[in-house]
Amino acid sequence: MLDRYLLRYFLAVVDQGNFSRAAAHCNVSQPTLSVGIAKLERTLGTPLFVRTNQRVELTEAGSRFLVHARRIEREFNLAIGSMSPTDHPPSLRLGVLGSVPSVLVAQAVAAARPMKHYRFELIFGSERELTSHLAKGRIDIALTLVQRGGERFLEKPVCTEGYALAMPADHPLAGQESIAAEELANEVMIVRRHCEALSDTSRHFTERGVRPHFALRSTDDDRVLNLIAAGLGITVMPLCYRRDGVARPLLAGFDLKRTVGWAASAEAEHLLNAPPPLFLAIEQRLADRGTGFPGPI
């Protein structure tokens, strides 16, 4: 029989990265936690971690056990929650990729009002952060990049879109349908530091001998759009971004695309099969933005 505290120790080591932080997370001493992990390994009959002076890594058996340990911990928490008398509605924890326009999500929230039906939590993050949150059960589902070759989560594509320049509407080149990188050699640029296409964008310009001055480096796309409209500089953004005062001509030869969709653990498959109104509202607004052609759904 596996004691739950041993599972908690195991998950803490995985999530915290080493034994000392895991012990602090569990409010026990490091020797106590180490004894617990050793007991768990004896019970299972196999080592779960490879220990070095620098780091702790899962063995192959540990990786297999992790899937079951996450599921057991989630089911235990759900069982405890279901036994507690409460008037609270069901929870819905939604993760959203930081490079999805927040205005689209805000409009969908205003239309669907998920707060009336759920204990709703909204978390913005990078692709890596959302993947981590899903794996650790911190969110139920994520609106993120999909079709990237992983098989860790269930996926449902929503739309596929490309990237384009974003420049002041009164810029002399703003009326062109497509602009070559070489035409921007003397322009001031803005870096969207959180963009999943950042390395591809940088390579596209440097391969063409364009090394511009950067007036701003930001992870806030609303700020970026406002400052582009103010004339501060030019950047590359997904096509779903729009703002008055900002033109969106194509960047010649830059054909990179991304697919945005839902990613969920097996436990949240029902959210893909019977999406709540909020999800449908988000999908509709992505489509209304003309983000490209619909992905296979």
Q: Render pLDDT for 147-163 as a digit per residue (tens, 0 to 9).
A: 887 777 899 999 999 99
| Residues 269 and 137 reside in one and the same domain | yes
pLDDT tier at 69, thresholds 50, 70, 90: confident
Tokens at 174, concatenated: 């703003």
Position 86 scores a pLDDT of: 55
Dump pLDDT digits (tens) for 5-34: 898 899 989 888 888 888 988 888 999 999
> Which of 49, 83, 117 corresponds to the end of one domain?
83
Residues near 100 by beta carbon (within 8 Å), at least 6 away in sequence: 143, 240, 260
64 and 141 inside one domain: no
Q: How far is CA 284 from CA 136, 290, 294, in A?
A: 29, 10, 11
CATH number at residue 35: 1.10.10.10
Is residue 145 within 8 Å of 128, Cβ to Cβ? no
Q: Which H or E run includes 207?
A: none
The SS3 of residue 261 is strand
Q: Are residues 50 and 159 in the same domain?
A: no
Q: Above 90 in pLDDT, residue 288? A: no
Q: Are the CB atoms for 189 and 164 separated by under 8 Å?
A: no
CA dist list (Å): 44 to 6, 10, 288: 11, 12, 53
Stated pTM of the model: 0.70
Under a CB-based contact definition with an 8 Å cutoff, are residues 217 and 193 in contact? yes
DSSP three-state, residue 17? coil
Number of domains within the chain: 2
The mean pLDDT of 267-291, rounded to a whole number, is: 85
At residue 295 the predicted structure's pLDDT band, cuts being 50, 70 and 90, is very low
What length is written for the chain?
A: 297
- CA 73 – CA 20 distance, rounded (Å): 22
Same domain, 22 and 133: no
Give residue 20's domain range.
4-83
Judgement on whether residues 130 and 13 belong to the same structural domain of the protein = no
| H/E run at residue 4 | helix 4-16
Average pLDDT over the chain reads 89
Q: Do both 64 and 183 map to the same domain? A: no
User: Do 104 and 282 contact (CB within 8 A), yes or no?
Assistant: yes
pLDDT at position 231 = 96
- Shared-domain flag, residues 64 and 93: no
**Mean pLDDT to the nearest integer, 56-60:** 90
Task: Give the phi and the psi of residue 192 in degrees, each rounded to 5.
Answer: -90, 95
Would you state the pLDDT for residue 290?
A: 55
CATH of the domain at 267: 3.40.190.290
pLDDT of 183-206, one tens digit each? 999 999 999 999 999 999 999 999
Residue 7 CA neighbour count, 13 Å, CB half: 17
The larger pLDDT score, comparing residue 247 to residue 70, is at 247
Range with the poorest average pLDDT among 80-94, 190-204, 248-262: 80-94
**Based on the domain organization, do 98 and 26 belong to the same domain?**
no
Last residue of a domain, one of 83, 106, 135: 83
Whether 250 shows a pLDDT value over 70: the answer reads yes
Examine the pLDDT at 292 and tell me if it is beyond 90: no
Last residue of a domain, one of 68, 83, 98: 83
With a pLDDT cut of 70, the percent of the chain lying above it is 93
* Rounded Cα–Cα distance for residues 126 and 165 (Å): 21
